[in-house]
Amino acid sequence: MNPKLKSILINIVLFAVVVFLAIKVVQSIKAPIDFGNEKSLREAQVVQHLKDIRDAEIQYKQAHNKYCSNFDTLIDFCKNYEIPIIMMVPDPEDTTFSKTINDTIGYVKVLDSLFGKREGFNIQEICNVPFSDPVAQFEIHDSIIKRGGISVPVFEAKTPFEVYLAKPGDKFTEKEWKTRVDNAKAELEQLDKYAGLKVGSLEEASTDGNWEKL
């Protein structure tokens, strides 16, 4: 082979190798960023559902002095239960005009009170985990715990990574995606933390979400 041609071929091969390695380096840097962005996008919607569940549970507890572990019951409560609209007005018996009383001026359904301003909101979907494939519901439980000799109602709603991260993002193969999800899960489990999103607790009197404790 002509030495000059051989040199050109070697340079072409070396250039191709360099380009290939450069692409791999870029992909290795970009992949975790893409995964993190997709995970954050999905979790934002999951968190919103958990916040909605928490709001509904708090109203349910105010009405029944306990939480609810059945979505059909909780949804029916939101659709049909009415809560009073309270206005503070001057006490008519107070001649000093310094005292006020609470006056009920009407009633509003829980659904309208909590979600009436949310355009396109569908209470029937409050139980469904966004991005789950097939569609799955949040796990929901309620219980009673003892604190200082007092019975305290508690609830918990949650969903693990495997549910809302089940389907690969557009930029990943199924294998690559599963590896990323498994790694994210392992990192949290090593810290003895729940690998997913949840609100409330069955062990303490808290209505916090675990995303609020990060």
In the predicted model, what is the mean pLDDT of residues 59-77? 96
Residue found under tokens 């909590």: 114
Q: How far is CA 53 from CA 91, 158, 182, 208, in A?
A: 37, 10, 27, 12
Confidence of residue 25 (pLDDT cuts 50, 70, 90): very low
Q: Is residue 10 one of the residues assigned to a domain?
A: no
Name the domain count of the chain: 1
Q: Is the pLDDT higher at 147 or at 42?
A: 42
Q: Where are the beta strands (DSSP E) in the chain?
A: 82-90, 100-109, 139-147, 150-160, 196-200
Q: What single letter denotes the amino acid at residue 181?
A: V
Q: Report the C-alpha gap between 166 and 182 in whole angstroms.
A: 11
Q: Identify whether 1 is part of a domain.
A: no
| Predicted pLDDT at 107 | 77
Instruction: Assess if residue 83 is contained within a domain.
Output: yes
Which residues are registered as beta bridge partners of 104?
A: 86
Q: Is the pLDDT of residue 56 over 80?
A: yes
Measured CA to CA, the distance from residue 209 to residue 48 in angstroms comes to 11
Domain that holds residue 90: 17-212
Do residues 39 and 188 lie in contact, with contact meaning Cβ atoms separated by under 8 Å? no
For residue 151, the model assigns a pLDDT of 93
| pLDDT for position 67 | 97
- Pairwise pLDDT comparison (211 vs 2), residue with the higher score: 211
167 within domain boundaries: yes
CA–CA gap between residue 184 and residue 168 (Å, rounded): 14
Measure the CA–CA gap between 203 and 84, rounded to whole angstroms.
32
Mean pLDDT of all residues in 154-176: 93
**Proportion of the chain above pLDDT 70, given as a percent:** 76
**What number is the average pLDDT over the span 159-167?**
95
Q: Is residue 8 part of a domain?
A: no
**For the whole model, what pTM was predicted?**
0.80
Instruction: Please tell me the predicted confidence (pLDDT) of residue 171.
Output: 83
The one-character DSSP state at 123 is G
The string of pLDDT tens digits covering residues 28-41 is 556 688 899 999 99
Tell whether omega for the bond before 160 is within 30 degrees of 0, i.e. cis: no
Residue 30: predicted pLDDT: 67
